[in-house]
Structure 1
Amino acid sequence: MSIHEAAKNYHEKMFPNYHSKFLETDPEFIEAFDNFAFDEVLQKVTLDEPTRFMSILATLLGCQGIDEFKAMVPAALNFGVTPIEIKEIVYQAVAYLGIGRVFPFLKATNEIFTDRGISLPLASQKTTTEKDRLTAGEQAQVAIFGASMQGFWHTGPEESQHINYWLTDNCFGDYYTRTGLTKKQREMITFCFLSGQGGAEPQLVSHAKANLKLGNDKAYLIKIISQNIPFIGYPRSLNALRCVNEAAEA
């Protein structure tokens, strides 16, 4: 077996002193995967390490990769992602994936934090109240998507207008207004949630446009897609690339 020295070194930084049983049961697979994910991809994709791991965690939430997520949370901490940043990624995922899919990830995060001696609950990142969450959510939508979002919360057919209201006061007012992550980081992880889960290409185009507007340019989004190919495979990654191209052309 010939795992590249660079892949071995990176793996050791992620998982100090960890010896995978797959080295014994599936040595050829581990050789191919580790050399690709932890050497070839890293040579091509230049990202700061916290951003790299935040994108991985968000993508794993999107594709429901709970076992890999459990492995990657400690690695993310080892590479400088803070507990607050990890929690904010998990919290925001609820708006895009639903609690039915996020609950196991929240539970796993708490267990990992507790095992590492990280005291819970973490410091509050909340900035809104029941009285101002709608207004603050609208401000966040306008800042991210543009002036066309002004008044979005009371538009649409009467029978479904409440959903636009909830998008403003809940999705944006409850989550995007929190501290712990910047708006650019929040749009990046949303892009990862959507690309990871697949089947949400219209929303992925919309959030690719939002990323571009905030300064996460096309080259950056392609780096995010490329970084996460080992975790979600080629079909969903190519769909995400098509959405980015469509957003850039628009």
Structure 2
Amino acid sequence: MKLTNNAKKIYETWFNSSSQLESDSSDFLEDYLNFLGDIGDKINIDEQTRLLVIVASLCVSGGAKSSFKSFVKAALNVGISAGDIKEILYQAVPYAGLGRVEDQIFLADEIFNERCIKLENMPKKSREGRGERGLEIQRKLFPAVDKFIASTPNDQRHIMEFLSQNCFGDFYARGVLSLELRELLTFVYIVTLGFAKPQLLGHIAANFGIGNDRAKLISVVTTLIPFIGYPSALNALAAINEISSSKN
């Protein structure tokens, strides 16, 4: 394969020059790796964040199991911990649903077992008080959340309670990953799913508010192009522009 310097580094560092990647499609792989190399010149996120974002996207895409496994291994190869990878997969469940994420959780476990990686006990907080814990995090991300909850019809109020308790109280409140990274990952999940524009806009605003600026989100979308395709990437950029305009 004729690889650029950036692509060669990715091939050697992320994938350990794995012959498994080549199979009978080395011409495709050459283009794919070179494109990943080109992307590296246009983004301003570090290598570990780049791989965390890719793993997060692949875990909710609903397929691409071989790619998911390759990039979980790549993440481990550059020093990302198995615990951090597990947190990404767990947090994906309330956004993409268990049907999309369950297989990836078990695939990651297989890889950890193959590498004899023994995970320490994952952090787990008591169910008691989880609603208030979650709501406290929501208030940091969405200053108008109390007003929004108060305006919810009574027959839908339980969904808002589940959001606070489950999505934020059970997952965001686990620690391990910073709040800034967790909110960036949520942006990745929603962009990859390719729908839910109101939630996409809300989480772009939340990212801006917590310090993940426009340049960072554009770098993330650029990183995701090979995995989500141009239509979804362009929709995400349009949403970023919409929120950026509203802030001016």
- What's the TM-score bracket when you normalise by the shorter of the two chains? over 0.9
The Cα shift of 1:130 comes to 2.0
| SS at structure 1 position matched to 2:174 | coil
Aligned counterpart, 1:62: 60
| SS at structure 2 position matched to 1:25 | coil
Is contact 1:201–1:239 with CA below 8 Å preserved after alignment? no
- For 1:92, the aligned partner's letter is Q
Is contact 2:130–2:170 with CA below 8 Å preserved after alignment? yes
Aligned counterpart, 1:139: 136
- For 2:196, the aligned partner's letter is A
Q: Distance in 1 between matches of 2:152 and 2:159?
A: 9
1:42 lines up with 2:40 in the alignment: yes
Q: Distance in 1 between matches of 2:201 and 2:140?
A: 18
1:163 lines up with 2:159 in the alignment: yes
188-197 or 151-160, larger mean C-alpha shift: 151-160
4+ residue segments displaced more than 6 Å:
none
Aligned counterpart, 2:81: 82
- For 1:43, the aligned partner's letter is D
Relative distance call for 1:89 and 1:109 in structure 2 (3 A) is same
Q: Distance in 2 between matches of 1:174 and 1:211?
A: 20
Q: Distance in 2 between matches of 1:6 and 1:185?
A: 26
- For 1:163, the aligned partner's letter is I
The Cα shift of 1:169 comes to 0.8
Is contact 1:142–1:149 with CA below 8 Å preserved after alignment? yes
The Cα shift of 1:208 comes to 0.6
1:208 lines up with 2:204 in the alignment: yes
Aligned counterpart, 2:50: 52
Q: What is the root-mean-square deviation in Å for CA atoms of aligned residues?
A: 1.6
Q: Distance in 2 between matches of 1:4 and 1:131?
A: 54
Is contact 2:11–2:17 with CA below 8 Å preserved after alignment? no
Q: Distance in 2 between matches of 1:63 and 1:84?
A: 21
Q: Distance in 1 between matches of 2:121 and 2:149?
A: 30
Pairs aligned (count): 245
List per-residue Cα deviations over 1:81-125 (Å, max 9, x = no partner).
2111101100000010111111001111111111111114x3332
Please give the residue correspondences for 1:98-177 in structure 2 after superposition, counting only pairs within 5 Å: 98-120=97-119, 122-126=120-124, 128-146=125-143, 148-150=144-146, 155-177=151-173
TM-score (norm 2): 0.93
Q: Distance in 2 between matches of 1:144 and 1:188?
A: 12
Q: Distance in 1 between matches of 2:121 and 2:176?
A: 10
Aligned counterpart, 1:2: 2
Q: Distance in 2 between matches of 1:102 and 1:21?
A: 23
- For 2:77, the aligned partner's letter is N
Q: Distance in 2 between matches of 1:59 and 1:4?
A: 25
Question: Which residue of 177, 192, 198 maps to 1:196?
Answer: 192
Identity within the alignment, %: 38
Q: Distance in 1 between matches of 2:160 and 2:34?
A: 46
List per-residue Cα deviations over 1:18-64 (Å, max 9, x = no partner).
11453x62233222211111x11111113111111111111112322
| SS at structure 2 position matched to 1:130 | coil
Is contact 1:144–1:183 with CA below 8 Å preserved after alignment? no
- For 1:167, the aligned partner's letter is L
Q: Distance in 2 between matches of 1:180 and 1:21?
A: 32
Is contact 1:49–1:80 with CA below 8 Å preserved after alignment? no
The Cα shift of 1:154 comes to 5.8
Unaligned runs of 5+ residues in structure 2 are none
| SS at structure 2 position matched to 1:202 | helix
TM-score (norm 1): 0.92
Q: Distance in 1 between matches of 2:157 and 2:101?
A: 26
The Cα shift of 1:155 comes to 4.8
Q: Distance in 1 between matches of 2:59 and 2:85?
A: 11
- For 2:87, the aligned partner's letter is E
Relative distance call for 1:27 and 1:115 in structure 2 (3 A) is closer
Unaligned runs of 5+ residues in structure 1 are none
